């Protein structure tokens, strides 16, 4: 048996590092530096302004195959980092900031940071869901996220095929990820001249205006 024949069957069992690369979402036209996990369909893409001086905002896209939850750590690991957890609820996307000091379902995190959906990049189809949003004041100097001046940064990712127990509620508890890891991003590759235009597409949901 040739060595290659011997090694090939082992490959799927190995954790193959996927390097983030440029990907343009067909619906929104936004170009992200994107990590895609072919094993489970999880993806996380990042776009930053071309001029990053003093910037604390980014545009992100998060999604996966199926109807479970996906999460991202803006600081790499799970503990004491700013997390984002998102999932589909029928045709709507539900998302929240989370933070925890212990392993367990992270509590909702509050601060000056906000996430505002970009509608043309937010959708659920027969195989995937995609949530695209402007994350404002999300790059912090307190060690919970990557920093504005970083040239590369590790992001954590977490995925579960199961939906949270109460998927209409953004504060729902979640069960532990079935798959997780960290991935290093070249932040220069995320910089896009069109960022300032894409940013204007982020519009807060207006539903609450009409709700009792
Ligand atoms: C009940 C809920 C959760 C439990 C019990 C849990 C538990 C854990 C544990 C024990 C680890 C260490 C690695 C391991 O032993 O598996 C870990 C890592 C991690 N978790 Fe969670 N987790 C939960 C939810 C979340 C959520 C909602 C997110 C993101 C939004 C998240 C993101 C991560 C990340 C990024 C890592 C680090 C992966 C790495 O360093 O390779 N976790 N989690």
Q: Write down the pLDDT at residue 54.
A: 93
Query: Which ligand 1 atom sits closest to the C-alpha of 81?
Result: 35
Q: Write down the pLDDT at residue 170.
A: 97
9-54: pLDDT as tens digits: 444 444 455 899 999 999 999 999 999 999 899 999 999 999 989 9
DSSP states along 27-86: TT--EEEEEE-TTT--EEEEEEES--TT---EEEEEEEETTSEEEEETTSSSTTS-EEEE
For the chain, the structural domain boundaries read 20-203
| Assigned CATH for 20-203 | 2.60.40.1210
102-126: pLDDT as tens digits: 999 999 999 999 999 999 999 999 9
Is residue 99 lining ligand 1, measured as CB closer than 6 Å?
no
Is residue 135 lining ligand 1, measured as CB closer than 6 Å?
no
Is residue 77 lining ligand 1, measured as CB closer than 6 Å?
yes
Query: Which ligand 1 atom sits closest to the C-alpha of 103?
Result: 7
Q: Is the pLDDT of residue 203 over 70?
A: yes
Is residue 175 lining ligand 1, measured as CB closer than 6 Å?
yes
- Percentage with pLDDT > 70 across the chain: 89
Closest residue by CA, ligand 1 atom 29: 71
- Percentage with pLDDT > 90 across the chain: 85
Q: Phi, psi (5° rounding) for residue 199?
A: -60, -35
Q: Write down the pLDDT at residue 205.
A: 72
Q: Phi, psi (5° rounding) for residue 111?
A: 180, -165
């Amino acid at each position: 048996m040739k060595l290659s024949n011997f090694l090939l069957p082992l490959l799927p069992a190995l954790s193959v590092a996927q390097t983030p690369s440029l990907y343009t979402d067909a619906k929104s036209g936004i170009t992200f530096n994107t990590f895609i996990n072919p094993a489970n369909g999880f993806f996380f893409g990042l776009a930053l302004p071309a001029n990053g001086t003093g910037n604390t905002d980014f545009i992100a896209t998060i999604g996966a195959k199926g109807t479970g939850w996906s999460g991202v750590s803006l600081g790499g690991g799970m503990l004491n980092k700013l997390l984002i957890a998102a999932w589909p609820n029928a045709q709507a996307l539900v998302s929240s900031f989370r933070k925890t000091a212990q392993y367990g379902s992270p509590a909702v995190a509050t601060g000056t940071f906000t996430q505002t959906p970009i509608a043309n990049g937010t959708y659920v189809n027969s195989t995937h869901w995609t949530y695209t949003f402007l994350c404002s004041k999300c790059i912090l100097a307190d060690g919970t996220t990557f920093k504005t001046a970083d040239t590369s940064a590790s992001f954590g990712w977490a995925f579960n095929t199961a939906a949270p127990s109460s998927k209409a509620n953004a504060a729902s508890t979640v069960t532990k990820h079935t798959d997780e890891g960290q991935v290093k991003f070249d932040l220069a590759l995320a910089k896009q001249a069109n960022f300032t235009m894409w940013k204007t597409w982020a519009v807060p949901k207006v539903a609450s205006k009409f709700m009792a």
